[in-house]
Structure formats: structure tokens, C-alpha cells
Amino acid sequence: MTDTIKVIVAGPRGRMGSEALRMIEKEDNLELVACIDHKHDGKKLSELDGLPAFDVTIYADINTCFESVQADVLVDLTTPEVGYLHTKTALEYGIRPVVGTTGFTNEQLEELTDLAEEKGLGTVIAPNFAVGAVLMMQFAKMAAKYFPDVEIIEKHHDQKLDAPSGTAVKTAQLIQDVRESKKQGHPNEKETIQGARGADMDGMKIHSVRLPGLVAHQEVIFGSSGQNLTIKHDSFDRASFMSGVKLAVEQVMKLDLLVYGLENLLD
């Protein structure tokens, strides 16, 4: 029998955090031991409406939480600034972070990579936990070898804080690994309205759509003479991310460094 993994969830009232609670409730090898939330300090999760009725305490202060509760893993599903601080603090307390929160800067990712290595602690930061999205990114990386002209269109719900999405940035980074740096479009093109051509990453354009009704969607469009290739993924429901969160929580226990991207954990 495998040992139970003791998990703290940060952001339990959020769209992703609440889905993570529902996932943990169903899994015998995961045990929720506390939650971190800037509201409801000291309450039990079971006192909040609409969430699984776990008899665990909510802490507003992460240090108090880590000093009061013995845990193996912190699952962070909050906001970019908070998520970064949580990840750093978890590593300082010897707790392995599994981070779905997006919007970290490259400098923050580098700092966390160094800290995880120094502490010898597994850490997973995954911009997208949906297996289909991970495949979409891998297929895009494969295609970029043959189609260097590419634009990324990501579409999300209008409550999203960061743009471009973590998934779009990660996709562009994977493509950047295999293609020569390239400025796309006409060399003399001019935007008559600022932003019309989207964000630029190493010459690739990234377009961010935000609308009510959307969940998480991305198209990677490759163009070549006489042909286009479109690789597309849709998450219609946040349950789509949960098998990836579970895998990351299990695998982070076996790691002693930081991995960035769920693809590094898939067979």
C-alpha cells in the first residue's frame, strides 16, 4: 500500500482550487490537511458553502499554516504574485510545491529552480495540467521544425488575470527551442492600432482573447506556401486539469528538483 500524501491547497474557493478539493475527496492516496486563503482565517472548510465538507482549518497566513500542520505537498492555484511567494515559502519549510498558477516571470522561475535544487526538493510548475493541452504543445514543437511561421491564439474566460496565458508562453518557448529566431509578417508592416499584431515572442505573435463563456482554448496556426496546419485544444471544464494535478502531486514526491511542464512527468 502506498503512503498517503498530505496536501495543502492554496486558493480553495477559486475555480481551480475548488475543483482540486473535489478531486482530492475522491482519491484514497491523497489527504487534505489544511487550506490557505486570505479570507476565512481560522474557519473550517466545512463551514463554507459550496465546497467539499473537509474538517480542515483555513489559514490566512502561510507561515502559521506550515508551522501548525504537517504536510508533504502545497498545491497552489491562486494568483501570480501570491503563487510565487507561496512556492518560495513552501520550499523554505521543506514542503514540495505543485503549482498551477500562471504568470510567473522568467526571473521568478529561475529563482525557484535554484531554490528547489538547493533544498533538494521536488517542485512541479505546470502552466497547463490538461493532458490534451500538453500534447498540443508537443505537437506544435514537432511541427515548428517544418513550419517556422507560426501564430498562437489563446482564448480564455474574462476573469483571467494574466495575458498571454501560461500555456501560450510555454508553447512559444517550446517552439523557440527548435526554430531559428525569425521576424514574421511583412518587414515593413505597421500597426495602425497598437497591439493589432499581438504580443511578440522571438518573432512569434501571440493573440489573447478574453470573453465570458470561454474556459481555456488554444490554436497554434502554422503557415507555409499553399498550406496551413492548425493544432487546437479546448478545455470545456476544469475537471480536464485534475488528472494532471493528481499526477503532479504523486510525482513531486519522487523528485529532488523543479520541473516546468507536465510533459516532463508523462511516460
Ligand X SMILES: O=C(O)C1=N[C@H](C(=O)O)C[C@H](O)C1
Ligand Y SMILES: NC(=O)C1=CN([C@@H]2O[C@H](COP(=O)(O)OP(=O)(O)OC[C@H]3O[C@@H](n4cnc5c(N)ncnc54)[C@H](O)[C@@H]3O)[C@@H](O)[C@H]2O)C=CC1
**Catalytic site residues?**
156, 160
How far is residue 229's CA from residue 222's CA, in Å, rounded to a whole number?
Answer: 5
C-alpha 38, offset from chain centre: 20
Q: Does position 156 bind ligand X by CB under 6 A?
A: yes
- Between the two ends of the chain, the Cα-to-Cα distance in Å is 22
101 marked as part of a ligand binding site = yes
Q: Are the CB atoms for 257 and 123 separated by under 8 Å?
A: yes
264 marked as part of a ligand binding site = no
Residue 31 CB, shortest distance to ligand Y, in Å, is: 20
**Residue 110 CB partners (closer than 8 Å, separation 6+):** none
| Of residues 59 and 129, the one with the C-beta less far from ligand X | 129
Options 1-9, 56-64, 111-119, 160-168: segment touching ligand X (CB under 6 A): 160-168
Residue 140 carries which DSSP code?
H
How far is residue 253's CA from residue 71's CA, in Å, rounded to a whole number?
Answer: 12
Q: Which of 59, 222, 241, 260 binds ligand Y (CB under 6 A)?
A: 241
How far is residue 119's CA from residue 71's CA, in Å, rounded to a whole number?
Answer: 16
Q: Which of positions 154-183 make contact with ligand Y (CB under 6 A)?
A: 162
> CA nearest 125: which of 178, 86, 92?
86
> CA nearest 167: which of 201, 195, 133?
133
Q: Does position 166 bind ligand X by CB under 6 A?
A: yes
Q: Which of 14, 97, 122, 164 binds ligand Y (CB under 6 A)?
A: 14
Q: Are the CB atoms for 169 and 137 separated by under 8 Å?
A: no
Q: Which of 18, 165, 171, 240 binds ligand X (CB under 6 A)?
A: 165
Q: Does position 136 bind ligand Y by CB under 6 A?
A: no
167 marked as part of a ligand binding site = yes
Q: Name the grid cell of 110.
A: 529561475
* Per-residue mark of binding to ligand X, 103-132 (x: CB under 6 A): ------------------------xx----
192 marked as part of a ligand binding site = no
Options 6-14, 25-33, 140-148, 164-172: segment touching ligand X (CB under 6 A): 164-172
| Of residues 148 and 152, the one with the C-beta less far from ligand Y | 152
Q: Does position 216 bind ligand X by CB under 6 A?
A: yes
Q: Which does 78 bind (CB under 5 to 8 A by kind): ligand X, ligand Y, none?
A: ligand Y
Q: Does position 90 bind ligand Y by CB under 6 A?
A: no
Q: Which does 149 bind (CB under 5 to 8 A by kind): ligand Y, ligand X, none?
A: none
Q: Which of positions 96-125 make contact with ligand Y (CB under 6 A)?
A: 100-103
Which stretches of 136-194 are assigned E, i.e. beta strand?
149-156
Q: Are the CB atoms for 155 and 218 separated by under 8 Å?
A: yes
How far is residue 172's CA from residue 180's CA, in Å, rounded to a whole number?
Answer: 12
Number of neighbouring beta carbons within 10 Å of residue 31:
16
Binding residues: 11-16, 39, 100-102, 126-129, 157, 166-167
Q: Which chain residues interact with ligand X by CB under 6 A? A: 102, 127-128, 156, 160, 165-167, 216
